Structures are given as structure tokens and as C-alpha cells.
Chain A
Amino acid sequence: MAKYDVVVIGAGSTGTAVARDCAMRGLKTLLLERDDIASATVGTCAGMISSGLKYMDEPNIVDMCSDEVVYFKRIARHIIAKNPILTPLLEMSDLSSGGNFAEEYSKRAETRDVPPVLFLTPEDSLKIEPMLNPDLIASLYFEEYFIDPFALCMLQALDAKQHSADIKTYCEVTDILTKNGSITGVQYFNRIADKMESVKTKAIINAAGPWAHKIAALAGAKLELRLNKGAHVILDRRVVNVGVIAKAIEGRMIYLFPHENTVLLGTTALDTWEDPDTLVASQDEIEYLLKSMEWVIPSIRDARIIRTMEGVRPLVPTWKIPEGDVTRGYEVIDHEPEGVSGLVSFTGGKLVMCRHMAEAATDLVCKNLGIETECKTHNMPLPGNSDDVDIMALAKEYGVSQHTVERMRARRGSETATILELTRDHPEWKTTICTCEPVIEAELRYAIRETFPQTLNDLRRRVRLGTGPCQGTFCTFKAAAILAEELELSGEEFQLDIADFLAERWKGKRQSIRGEQIAQEELAQGIYACVGNLDQAQEELDYDLKPWEEVL
């Protein structure tokens, strides 16, 4: 049986950061993930690595966030973009509570290479963003950074792998083995190999997010979480030029942020006890977001909604206070005092802190193991973060359209040249498979060979397949064939993969289906059901009902 120094459970932003840190410090590391990298909470966020302006009541956290932004810019600049943000004010009371927000933000602004909070006149605001409500009286302007959350997790995982960590996706932890109050191993069901497996270890870092309490329970440890869900509505293109923040119906702040070539409208915050796998955005949440944003962007309802998404925050369990008052900091909990030695869990935390959280937990584990180590994760660059990419030169050299190369650069940084090089031996891989983004076959094949996707949905996280306005209508069957070829799937598996991906896309599309998206869906039904007859094939095949589909 394999033996590891540490087993990390959960491959979200925290888990992958932990695996990276442990591996870089020389620990023999195994990262176990029930589904795929970034398939849960982190995959449903807007990607803002915030400066912490929301946490002005917790100045230590603000400082930490500011530092982490600087580190991210150092190690992952190729997946970070700047997002200028306007907060239009229709009345002075629209300013979020507390005047020291601007002060807190501005204190460390220079280190993050952004200007301090600025006030803009209504005329200037409208010049920058013509879609704003013309009755605004002023706006605040500040700049935040955004990171691609999927790329961050994948690159952290790949970096861990490069430092000899083992990454196993589709492995669901079923039991944690202990002896005399100490961790001895982990048992898990390997869904790809279709069998139970186990490994020996003395240390487990529980980064399972909204399932952390269930994982802890497997070891007989107690962990409390305050689970809180949030929805996003995704619009088909950048309908606004800059980010917009507005005061929502009950006084919370919500946002409209450009994200790649879409715009995200979010988010809500509702305590939840439902199974996270069954959650979808509710009609109330969708309407709440639209109505709230309508005050500052009156034409928001004209925009085309392509889908919604719903995620669950694993908050630090503080009760009898509104969600907004719960700390955004995190806790690293050592379960040794309660009799489970070797288990460390997380509660709370935000995307921007994942490296910091990983450092804290890895320090703790190393201390418990009696090893002296040094954390380097804030200095060593993540893969792909090297040279600048010359779009025009690459486009010309490989005979690929400039826009295709530009979008590839946005996703893959300096790997762009490596991917394009594949087309020398395979010119047919210059074919565009996803016409919305666009994504060419070379990038798909590269992602399949280098980043271990098992399904189309996994591929979606890596290359944005099916995330555009057509939501997979045209690319699904083409990409499925490529994946099936590479993974040598049977005809049945190929059809099921298509059905599974369409199901996953429908999960988010269904709730907000209206306007142009209905015509899009009619076309998808026309293709896959009417012509492809996959709706009937599904009866013959072994289609598994998904958790969110099992609603009566």
C-alpha cells in the first residue's frame, strides 16, 4: 500500500494550494478529489482576488489580502486581469456602510499598483460607462484584480505534480483510518478504476469546503460550518465596459463584473442546509440580482442571460449575526485536542487567501511531523507565467487567426506557443471546435494530454468549452469525439459524455431560460434530440440521473 507524508482532501483553491505547498516543501503528497479540480465552490465564484475592502472591520485581514494580491501578481500574472470598478451613487446613502472603506483600501493601494479610491463626476462616469443610470450623482472608482479560478487551481495542482505530488481526481474519500487517536490512512473509492483503494498516512489536511464537516466526521472529529449559498447570473458578452457595484434591495452590495468575454452578475447570500450537489439558482435569487442592478444599469434586463450558477460558501460558524457580519478570515483547526491527531481542517476563507491558508496549514503539519521547512509558494511562479506572448507574430507564424491566439493567450499564457507548435505536425488541429470562445482542436488535445480531464465537463473547466452564448450547442459533439478518441472511449461512453455535459449545462441554463436563450435551446434540442435522437438513446444507455435532476 502506498504511503504518503500528507493526504490533502479536496482540490479547490485551498486544497490545490496546500498540495502545492506541501509538495514544494518536500512532503510526499497525495491530493484526493471527489470530482475534478475546481469543480465545487471555487468554480462558482467571480474570481476577484479582492483587496479586502469588504473586511474593513478586520484590518489584519485587509493587510493580508493586500499582500496576497501582490504575491499572486508575482506568481500568476498570466491569469490575472485588472478590473476597474465603478460604484455609482444615486444617493449618498448608497455608499456602503462606514466611511473608512476608502481609507482602508487606499492605504495599501500603491503596493498593489492601483490608484487610491477616486471620486468621479456624473458626466465622467457616464463617459466611462454609458449604460449607467443618468441620474447618478457621483461614483467611486477603484481597481481590483481578477484571477481565473479554474486556471489557478489547475496550475497549483500541476505545480504540485511537478514537485512529485500525486493528484487523483474522481476519488471519493469513504473512510479515514485511525488507531489510538491518530490518523493512519485514508480509504477512497476510485471512480475511474471502479474500485476501493487505500493509502497510509499520518497527516490529513481537510480542504473539502462545504463537505469538510462530513470528512471530519469520517475520522470521528467534529467540525462545524455555516453553509451559505450564492448565485450568479451570467450574461453573454461584456455588456459593461468596467465593473459596476451597486447597493442591492436589502442593503448588501452586489456587482456586475466583466469576466473573460462574459459578464457576471452576483451574488446572493442565503444560509443553506441542502445538499450542495442539488443546488441551482432560484427564481428569487435571479430576480433579486436583476432588480438590484436595474437601479444603476437601467437596461440590464435587455442583456442576454446565458446561464446561472450556484455555489456554497463554507463560512466560519458564527451564528445569530447576518451573513455579512461573519468574518471573512479563516480558521485552521487542529483536531488533536479532541482526540484525532494528524487531522487538520479549514473553515472560512476567500479565494485571495488560499495561499496564506495553505501556508498556515502546511506549517502546522510540518511542525507536527517534526520537520523544519520553508514556504516558497509566494515567490515561485506558477506554470505558464513566463514570457510575454506576441499575438501577431504567433498568428502569422502558425497561420491561425489573431483573435484565436489572443483568446488562447488569455487562458494559457506562455503555453500558447507550445500549443500552436502542435499544429506543425497536425495542421488539421487548427480547426476551431468551439466557435464562441474560440477554442481550436490543438488546445483541446493539449489540455486532454496534459491536464487529465475525464469528461467534457472537466474539459470545460480547462478551456472554457461551452461557456459562451451557445452553451455547448455546437461544440459538444465535436469535442466529445476528440475526447473519446484521446481517452479511447466506447461509443456508449461517448454518447453518455455528451448527455452528461448537456445535463450540466442545462443545470445552469434552465433557471434563467428566457429571450434569445430559448431559441438557442430549441436549436440544441433540434440537434441532439430531433436529429441525433440522443434523448431516446439515453433510455438504452446507462444514464445516471444527476443529483439536481432527481427532483420530483
Chain B
Amino acid sequence: MSEEEAYQTVLATLKEEGIYPYTEDEMQVVKSIERCINCGLCIQHCPVVAAVGLDRFSGPRSIAVELSRSPPEYWTTADVVYLCTGCGTCREVCPKDVDIPEIVNLIRARIFKHRPDLVPKQLHTADAIIVEHGLAFVPWEDPEEKTESRNMRLERLGLRYIPDQVVKGADVLFYPGCQAEERAQEVKESAKIILDHFKVKFTLLEEVNCCGLPATLLGDDETALELALKLKRKVKDLGVKMLVTTCAGCTSNLAHIAERDAWGIPVYHMLEYLVEEIGIAKLSSAFKQSTEEEPLRVTLHDPCHLIKHTSRITMDYAGQILSLIPDVEVTQSFAHDSCCGGGGLVSYHAGDVARAVMKENIAAIEETGATRVVTPCPLCTAQLEDNLFRQGSSVEVDDMTVFIAQRLPQEG
């Protein structure tokens, strides 16, 4: 038998036995499971377990201790592993730093590659969109309609229009993320307003492509890698000093990719950029006098991708910024740092679970008596809007970037 034939024979046995070797990066992630001591603290804090019960979602402990010990059986986890919202609360409370969100991604990647029949149909549909368009949403076919939609939003929110610009050698690349680019355009516009106000030399991308997080979350690692490398090329091409984004998921994902693929530039969420690069001093003098008759009572929602995947400090920044805005009163909700249920692509195929996770947030928000909830994440914004509406609540939702832009002085 030739060497090649020998290898093929071996592969055939491995396939029959369901043995798919871990690669080296997978091994690094899998190693963190070794530390699990089965204490169950993660289950006490998991928002999905709290929302639907331990039987429906056996929880992070089960994923760590039970599900990943025997690779040939990974596919049996398909009835559970897609219900994780990827919030990272488990990892944050784990005394042993077990990296459960990454393990979930790893298992989903294996299922996607070797048992695509077990991936929820809706995720295949989502994947098809990403593969075809390089974006998480189907983009506008007609650029004029896109512009019209944008203008309507600008008018409704009282925002001015700053033209798009693509220049080489700028300091900052503003990356809107798929949602702000194709759907919630007001977020992209607000970011430009903010950057323009502080006279930042910024550029946009000629063509936006998804940062790849949704692809990773549904297990299509190949496409995620392609998108990451594509983005890197564009970034290098523009020669910027840093990247700023208004999307929480993009922040944590790009921070990861930028390090992994050696981009050589830092990645900031707009909040971090404002506090760390612009600075509190400049910010405090920027906010105009309020036009509200009464103080505006708001409450904050902390996106998991910021607090648990990036740093808790980011939402301290949010509080600091809001405290500089006159006539804005912030009341903290008891569930401010509790997952909104919008993550992990759970809402795509198990809407009831996603909505159940949000129940506690809604109750907490109502309890604050706030009229608006502000959050720096497009996914959280959409999830909150949807659920508050269903509840018949009058609380309105603002993306924080928009909230800030609306309160900057309108120039000329």
C-alpha cells in the first residue's frame, strides 16, 4: 500500500468511528475545560438556564464537563449547544476561568463541518447571506432607497448629515458593522457626527464587509476567516492608526482578530475612544444645554460583548459620559448587566428562548421608572425594542452613539 493509500485507510476508520482530530488552536480552547471542578456556579448565573430551566438548557457546566470530553460524541450536543447566547457570564463567574463561550463556538464549528444536518435550518439561511453578500444582512439593492431610508432616520432623530469619506492615512477608521451600515443607519450617521464634532481625521471603508462574528457563531469558521483577512487587507490599505466601531460584538470580535492576525492597530468601541482618546475634559465642554423641560430619566443596558468579552470598564465609561450630559438622570436597573438574549444567534431559531431571557431585563427596566433605555450595541437595541414593544411598554430605546450625537451642538 502506498503512503497516500495508507493515510486514506486511516481517515476512513476515523470517519467511521467519528473521530475528528482537534487542531492546535482548538486544543488551546479545549484545554481550559480541564480546569472545571463541576461546581455549578455557572448554572446559577446563566441567563438561559434562569429563563427556560435546567432541563431545556443543561447549561455551561454540562458543556464543559459533560459534552466535550469525548470528541466522537460532539454531535450529540446539537440539541443544546445552539441555545447558548454567548453572553460569557459563565466564564466571568467561573473560579477556574473555563472558556465556555469559545468551547460552544468550537462545538458548533465541528457540527457545521461534519454534521451540517444537525445545524438549525435558520442558521444555514443566515450563513448563505453572509457567504453571498459578505454581510450579516441582505444589503439594499437600490442605493437610492438606502439613501431615502437614511434621510428619514436623520430627520426623525434631528441629526445632521456628514458626508461619507474614504481617505488614506487618516487617524481613525470608523467601522459601522453590518447593522449600522444596512439597517440602523442612524448609528453610522451619529458616529460621523461625533467624529466630525471633535475634528477627528477619520475614514470609512470603501465597501463594508462583516467582521465575521455571526459566521463564527454559527460555526462557519472558513467564511469567518475569509472575512477577517479581507478586512485586514482593507485596513492595511488605508493605513489608519486605529479602528473605532459602534457595535459591541464587532468590538470584541475585532479585538480578537486584530491580535490573532497581527493588524498592529488597536480596536476601540466609540465609548472607549471618547473617554480614552478624546478625554473627559473635552467631552464635558461639548454637551450643549438641554432642551428638555424635565430631566430625562434613562437607564443603561450593558452589552455582554462589551462587559464580558472586552472589559467592564467600558460601561463605566458609558456612565461617565452620561453624567456629563445635562438634564440626563441615570437610574441603574438591577438587571443592567444581564444578557438581553440577542446573542449567540439564538433568536434566529429559538425565538421563545431569546424572549424568555429578556423577561428579567424588561421587569428591571420598568422598575427604574426610566423613559428611555440606552445601550451601545445594535443587537441589544433591536432585541430591547422588539421585546419592549411586545410587552406594550412605553420605554424607548436608544443606541448610545445616537443618544450622544443628538446632544452635541448642531453646527452651522
Q: Which of B72-80, B197-205, B238-246, B385-393 lies on the face that meets chain A? A: B72-80
Q: Which of A228-242 contact B (CB under 8 A)?
A: 236-238, 241-242
B65 lies within 8 A of A470 (CB):
yes
A127 to B6, CA, bound (A): 13
Q: Which of B2-37 contact A (CB under 8 A)?
A: 3, 6-7, 9-11, 13-14, 16-17, 19-24, 27, 30-31, 33-37
Known interface pairs A130-B27, A238-B71. Does A401 touch B80 (Cβ–Cβ under 8 Å)? yes
B14 lies within 8 A of A84 (CB):
yes
* Interface check B151, CB cutoff 8 A: no
Question: Which chain B residue lies CB-closest to A474?
Answer: B38
Q: Which of A217-225, A415-423, A516-524 lies on the face that meets chain B? A: A516-524
A402 lies within 8 A of B79 (CB):
yes
A241 lies within 8 A of B22 (CB):
yes
B69 lies within 8 A of A236 (CB):
yes
* Interface check A294, CB cutoff 8 A: no
Note all chain B residues with C-beta closer than 8 A to A262.
69
A34 to B31, CA, bound (A): 41
Known interface pairs A82-B17, A119-B6. Does A470 touch B38 (Cβ–Cβ under 8 Å)? yes
* Interface check A304, CB cutoff 8 A: yes
Q: Which of A125-150 contact B (CB under 8 A)?
A: 127-131, 141, 143
Mask, A424-449, CB within 8 Å of B = 1, is: 00000010100111100000000000
B33 lies within 8 A of A237 (CB):
yes
A237 to B23, CA, bound (A): 16
Known interface pairs A119-B3, A128-B14. Does A304 touch B37 (Cβ–Cβ under 8 Å)? no
Please tell me which one of the listed residues B13, B24, B61, B72 contacts residue A130 in the complex, with CB atoms under 8 A apart: B24
Closest Cβ of chain B to A136, distance in Å, is: 14
A48 to B16, CA, bound (A): 19
A82 lies within 8 A of B35 (CB):
no
A118 lies within 8 A of B66 (CB):
no
B6 lies within 8 A of A403 (CB):
no
Please tell me which one of the listed residues B11, B14, B68 contacts residue A237 in the complex, with CB atoms under 8 A apart: B68
A402 lies within 8 A of B34 (CB):
no
Known interface pairs A403-B77, A523-B39. Does A120 touch B66 (Cβ–Cβ under 8 Å)? no
* Interface check B70, CB cutoff 8 A: yes
A403 lies within 8 A of B69 (CB):
no
B22 lies within 8 A of A469 (CB):
no
Known interface pairs A84-B19, A516-B35. Does A121 touch B3 (Cβ–Cβ under 8 Å)? yes
Question: Which chain B residue lies CB-closest to A520?
Answer: B37
Known interface pairs A128-B14, A238-B69, A260-B70. Does A469 touch B7 (Cβ–Cβ under 8 Å)? no
* Interface check A391, CB cutoff 8 A: yes
- Most chain A CB neighbours (cut-off 10 Å) among B20, B30, B39: B39
Closest Cβ of chain A to B29, distance in Å, is: 13
A119 to B3, CA, bound (A): 7
* Interface check B1, CB cutoff 8 A: yes
Question: Which chain B residue lies CB-closest to A527?
Answer: B39
A128 to B36, CA, bound (A): 27
A128 lies within 8 A of B10 (CB):
yes
* Interface check B284, CB cutoff 8 A: no
Question: Which chain B residue lies CB-closest to A475?
Answer: B38
* Interface check B96, CB cutoff 8 A: yes
A401 lies within 8 A of B58 (CB):
yes
**Interface residues on chain B, size class:** 35 or more
Closest Cβ of chain A to B27, distance in Å, is: 7
B70 lies within 8 A of A237 (CB):
yes
Note all chain B residues with C-beta closer than 8 A to A405.
76
* Interface check A473, CB cutoff 8 A: yes
A82 lies within 8 A of B3 (CB):
no
Closest Cβ of chain A to B234, distance in Å, is: 32
A241 lies within 8 A of B38 (CB):
no
Note all chain B residues with C-beta closer than 8 A to A237.
30, 33-34, 68-70
* Interface check B406, CB cutoff 8 A: no
A129 to B80, CA, bound (A): 28
Q: Which of B67-104 contact A (CB under 8 A)?
A: 67-73, 76-80, 96
* Interface check B62, CB cutoff 8 A: yes
Note all chain A residues with C-beta closer than 8 A to B58.
401, 432
Closest Cβ of chain A to B144, distance in Å, is: 49
* Interface check A481, CB cutoff 8 A: no
A519 lies within 8 A of B37 (CB):
yes
Note all chain B residues with C-beta closer than 8 A to A119.
3, 6
Closest Cβ of chain B to A15, distance in Å, is: 31
B76 lies within 8 A of A391 (CB):
yes
Note all chain B residues with C-beta closer than 8 A to A118.
1, 6, 9-10
Note all chain B residues with C-beta closer than 8 A to A391.
76
A46 to B397, CA, bound (A): 60
Closest Cβ of chain A to B60, distance in Å, is: 12
Note all chain A residues with C-beta closer than 8 A to B80.
401-403
Please tell me which one of the listed residues B7, B16, B33, B73 contacts residue A406 in the complex, with CB atoms under 8 A apart: B73
Note all chain B residues with C-beta closer than 8 A to A241.
14, 19-22, 71
A395 to B75, CA, bound (A): 13
Note all chain A residues with C-beta closer than 8 A to B40.
474
Known interface pairs A406-B76, A469-B65. Does A143 touch B13 (Cβ–Cβ under 8 Å)? yes
B36 lies within 8 A of A402 (CB):
no
B76 lies within 8 A of A130 (CB):
no
Closest Cβ of chain A to B175, distance in Å, is: 34
Question: Which chain A residue lies CB-closest to B57?
Answer: A401
A403 lies within 8 A of B13 (CB):
no
Question: Which chain A residue lies CB-closest to B65?
Answer: A436
Question: Which chain A residue lies CB-closest to B16?
Answer: A82
A129 lies within 8 A of B21 (CB):
yes
A128 lies within 8 A of B96 (CB):
no
Mask, A243-281, CB within 8 Å of B = 1, is: 000000000000000101110000000000000000000
* Interface check A59, CB cutoff 8 A: no
Q: Which of B254-268 contact A (CB under 8 A)?
A: none
Please tell me which one of the listed residues B6, B9, B69, B96 contacts residue A516 in the complex, with CB atoms under 8 A apart: B96
A236 lies within 8 A of B34 (CB):
yes
Mask, A511-533, CB within 8 Å of B = 1, is: 00000100110010000000000
Question: Which chain B residue lies CB-closest to A521?
Answer: B37
Mask, A357-384, CB within 8 Å of B = 1, is: 0000000000000000000000000000
Note all chain B residues with C-beta closer than 8 A to A535.
none
* Interface check A387, CB cutoff 8 A: no
Question: Which chain B residue lies CB-closest to A517?
Answer: B37
Note all chain A residues with C-beta closer than 8 A to B68.
237
B31 lies within 8 A of A438 (CB):
no
Question: Which chain A residue lies CB-closest to B23?
Answer: A130
A402 to B71, CA, bound (A): 14
Question: Which 5 A-B pairs rank lowest in CB-CB distance, beginning with the nearest?
Answer: A261-B70, A237-B69, A470-B38, A118-B6, A261-B69
> Can you list 18 A-B pairs with a CB-CB distance of less than 8 A?
A81-B17, A84-B10, A84-B19, A118-B1, A119-B6, A124-B6, A127-B21, A128-B21, A130-B22, A241-B21, A258-B70, A304-B34, A402-B76, A435-B65, A469-B65, A470-B38, A516-B35, A520-B37
Q: 16 new A-B pairs (CB below 8 Å) besides A130-B23, A403-B67, A469-B69? A: A115-B9, A118-B6, A128-B21, A129-B21, A130-B22, A241-B19, A258-B70, A261-B69, A304-B34, A402-B78, A403-B66, A406-B73, A468-B65, A469-B36, A469-B37, A523-B37
